[in-house]
Structure 1
Amino acid sequence: MRMRSTLAAALGALLLSVALPASPAAAADGEFVYTYVGLNGLNLRGTLPDPDSNVCIDIPETVGSNLPAFAPRNFTDSTATVFLDANCNGDVFYVMPPGKRLGDRLRFRSVVFS
C-alpha cells in the first residue's frame, strides 16, 4: 500500500513539474545599438537584441581588438551601464537610461543592463 502511495505521489510531482512552464531569464526588451570599427577600417553597426539583465556583456567586436565600440544607443526598456574596460571593470563608466542615445565620442567595451 505504501509503495503505491509513494509511486503515485512521485508520478504526480513529475507530471506537475513538467506541466509548469520554466521561468524565462530576465531580459531587457528592445535593442542596444553601437558602432565599431571593422577589419576593413569602416564603421559598422552592432546590436544586442533583448540582452540579458544583470549579466556583463563584452561587446563581441572589441574582444581582442585595440579599438573599443562607440556611439551607444540604448533602445531597451532597461538602464544600461557601459564600461570602457572589458568584463564591466574599471571606474570609467556611463549610465544610460532607457531610450537614451549618446554621441559618437563615448567609447566602451562592455555593458550591463539592470
Structure 2
Amino acid sequence: MIRRSLTAAVGAACAFVLLMAVPGSASAATGQFRYSYTTAEGYEAVGFLNNPASGECVDLPAPGSAPGTVSRAPKNHTDATATVFLDADCEGDTYYTLRPGAGASDRLLLRSVVFS
C-alpha cells in the first residue's frame, strides 16, 4: 500500500514538472515588423515595432509623419502572422495577411496592424 502511494506521488510530481515546463500562450510576437512612411517634412522614413503584442491593434505610422500618411512596404520579421489594414483601428474590408518572414512592396498600403 505504501509503495502504491509513493508511486502515485512520484507520478504526480513528474506530471507537475512536465506541465510547468510547457510554455504558455505567447503574449507577444517575437521579432520586428518594419514599414515605410513619409515624414511631415517629406522625407522617407522606416518605422518598426519590436516584439509587438499579440491581439492588439497598432495604428501606424510613427509620430512625426505627415497628417493622413499611409504606410507602405511592410516586412514581417516576427514569428507571428501580421494582418495589415488600409483603415485605422484594424477595421475595414481592405486587409492583407503576412506570414512570418514575408513582406510586400510599396504598393501595399496600410494604416494599422494586428498580430496573431
* 1:37-68 deviation per Cα after TM superposition (whole angstroms, max 9, x unaligned): 01111110000000000111111437882121
CA distance in 1, matches of 2:26, 2:103: 26
Match of 1:78 in 2: 80
Cα drift, residue 25 of structure 1: 6.8
2:95 and 2:45 map into 1 onto residues whose CA distance is 22
**What pairs up with 1:80-95 in 2 under 5 angstroms?**
80-95=82-97
Listed as ranges, the gaps of 5+ residues in structure 1 are 1-22
SS in 2 for 1:81: strand
Q: Give how far 1:24 is off.
A: 9.4
2:39 aligns to what? 38
Q: How many residues align?
A: 92
State the Cα RMSD in Å.
Answer: 2.1
Cα separation, 1, equivalents of 2:100 and 2:26: 19
The Cα shift of 1:104 comes to: 1.0
Corresponding residue for residue 28 of structure 2 = 27
Preserved CA contact (<8 Å) 1:25 1:52: no
1:56 aligned partner: 57
- 2:13 maps to which residue? none
C-alpha separation between the residues in 1 aligned to 2:57 and 2:101?
19
Matched AA of 1:103: S
Amino acid at match of 2:58: I
State the TM-score, normalizing by the size of structure 1: 0.74
Normalising by the residue count of structure 2, what TM-score does the alignment of the two structures yield? 0.73
Tell me, in whole angstroms, the C-alpha distance in 2 between the residues paired with 1:55 and 1:76. Answer: 15
> What is the DSSP-based 3-state SS (H/G/I as helix, E as strand, rest coil) of the residue aligned with 1:73?
strand
> Contact 2:61–2:69 at 8 Å: present in 1 too?
no
